[in-house]
Amino acid sequence: MRNSEMRFRRLFETAKDGILILESNTGKITDANPFISELFDYPTNELPGKELWQIGLFQDIQSSQAAFRQLKRLGRNWKRS
């Protein structure tokens, strides 16, 4: 288990894709990788606890919150179109 966690953390930290991990109930960021910090010019250690609309990822707050509620409602049945 420890090896698996170490591999995940290494992949997460070195990925050249922006990755945010969100709390499913609140939409708050629980973790972010360094690449997303570079993309948004936002310190990695300041991202946890913030919501997506607080970091400028989505400018239209009401639409962003509605989309998050819909994803939460659909849960695992959500599919990209």
Q: What does the DSSP assignment read for the chain?
A: -HHHHHHHHHHHHH-SS--EEE-TTT-BEEEE-HHHHHHHT--GGGSTT-BGGGTTS-S-HHHHHHHHHHHHHHGGG----
Q: What is the pLDDT of residues 9-66, one digit of tens each?
A: 999 999 998 898 988 778 799 999 999 888 888 898 999 999 877 887 666 777 777 7
| pLDDT value for 24 | 77
The alpha carbon dihedral of 16, 13, 71, 53 has a sign of negative
Domains parsed from the chain with CATH numbers: 2-77 (3.30.450.20)
| pLDDT value for 58 | 65
pTM of the complete model beyond 0.75: no
